[in-house]
Amino acid sequence: MDQNMNIIELIDENNQVVSFEHIMTLDYKDKEYIVLAPIDQESDPDENEIVILRVEQDENGDDYYTGIEDKSELEEIFAAVNEVYEHGFN
C-alpha cells in the first residue's frame, strides 16, 4: 500500500470501520463532493469501484459525509468525476 495515500475511515451500517482512499474532492453546482475508493483486500483488483458522498456541514460548521439518494444527482456527479479523469486533475 502506498504510504502517501490519504486514508479515510468511515463507519458502515453494521458499525464496522471501513477504510477508503481519498481520490478527490469536487465542487459541483455549489456543492462539495468527496470521491473515495474502498481499500478492501477481498475485492477484485480489476474492479474499479468508487464511492461518491456529498460533504455537508453541521450546526457547528464541522464537515460530515452523506450518501446521495437522488439518482439523477448521482449520475451528474459521476459524469463530472469522469470528465475530471479524462482531462486530468489540473
d(CA 31, CA 28) in angstroms, rounded, equals: 5
Beta strands in 12-83 (DSSP E): 17-28, 31-38, 51-57, 63-66
Residue 59 has pLDDT above 80, yes or no: yes
Using one digit for the tens of pLDDT, what is the confidence trace for 4-44?
Answer: 569 999 988 899 999 999 999 999 999 999 999 998 756 55
State the pLDDT at residue 15. 94
**Whole-structure pTM value:** 0.79
Using one digit for the tens of pLDDT, what is the confidence trace for 64-89?
Answer: 999 999 999 999 999 999 998 888 76
Using one digit for the tens of pLDDT, what is the confidence trace for 35-58?
Answer: 999 987 565 555 678 899 999 999
| Strand ordering across the sheet containing 31-38 | 7-11, 17-28, 31-38, 51-57, 63-66
